[in-house]
Structure 1
């Protein structure tokens, strides 16, 4: 059985959207805690189907 953790990262900028936080550091920090990155989700919630945020989805075996 697994447990899951979802971390939402907001994006900034109109033409070149960039995350407001350092997602590399977030992934490395969670890996040290035993979490495994399984997916990056960028839902098309903004204008013209662009993403305004993305979510890092982690899993860890219970």
Structure 2
């Protein structure tokens, strides 16, 4: 499946269905950021709510 990297969204989560292979970008047009905790005080308390489990994909160059 060919995907186009979105150079505005960097990502290193290789097992996400929207990850752009070795380029470390997301292929979505936009992402949703969510919270893991009710009281967010640091980066670890946030998550990419657009994550979908999948394998690394190839991207259009």
TM interval, short-chain normalised:
under 0.3
TM-score normalized by the length of structure 2: 0.26
Query: Which structure has more helix as a fraction of its residues?
Result: 1
TM-score normalized by the length of structure 1: 0.26
